[in-house]
Amino acid sequence: MCRKVDVTDRVAIEAAVRDGEERFGPVDGLVNNAGSMLLGRIADQPVEEWERMIDLNVKGVLYATRAVLPGMIARGGGTIVNVSSVAGRKTFPHHVAYVGTKFAVHAMSENLREEVASSGVRVVTIAPGAVETELLSHTSDERIKSDYEAWKKSAGGALDPRAVAEAVAYAYRQPPNVTIREIVLASTGQEA
């Protein structure tokens, strides 16, 4: 089943999850991967860009998690994978709002893991460095985009998205009594 759902719409997420469960059974795994990276200098970045990232990167994770978590707790198992970023562990120039959202994902994931561990629900954080996706294209500041592209090139390029998908699959495939709490991955040349 494929369904286009706005993760900032809690009601739509819940409806999509219920539709999927009616067709395929209870949710066993959730990968919270929707997000936005809008880089900018906090003094002049449009506030709407901060709000967009908070809605997608923070509220979207919470809404999707809430849609599946009660069932997982009731069944005594399941896996929630939250895709964060290296920017959820350290800061970068022109990333203030983005870093804030990704630090939030890390904190929420760790706190949720502690909250549900005794229920048999696993919570995993995947923290990739630069990945070759369309994320940077949404940044409105052309200079920041060109500087970021130059930085990626100096690091030997960014990760292929398949490497991130393989990290998610690795964490998910562990036996139910094993939680890979966090995977941090980046291209070998990425120093930061």
What is the rounded distance in angstroms from the CA atom of residue 138 to the CA atom of residue 160? Answer: 19
Is 98 an annotated catalytic residue?
Answer: yes
Query: Which string of b and e fits 90-121 if b means at least 16 CB within 10 Å?
Result: eeeebbbbbbbbbbbbbebbeebbeebeeeeb
Distance from the Cα of residue 146 to its chain's centroid: 24
What is the rounded distance in angstroms from the CA atom of residue 91 to the CA atom of residue 109? Answer: 19
What is the rounded distance in angstroms from the CA atom of residue 121 to the CA atom of residue 26? Answer: 14
What is the rounded distance in angstroms from the CA atom of residue 93 to the CA atom of residue 112? Answer: 29
Distance from the Cα of residue 108 to its chain's centroid: 11
Q: Which of 98, 148, 170, 172 is catalytic?
A: 98
Residue type, 131: V
**Would you name the residues annotated as active-site residues?**
98
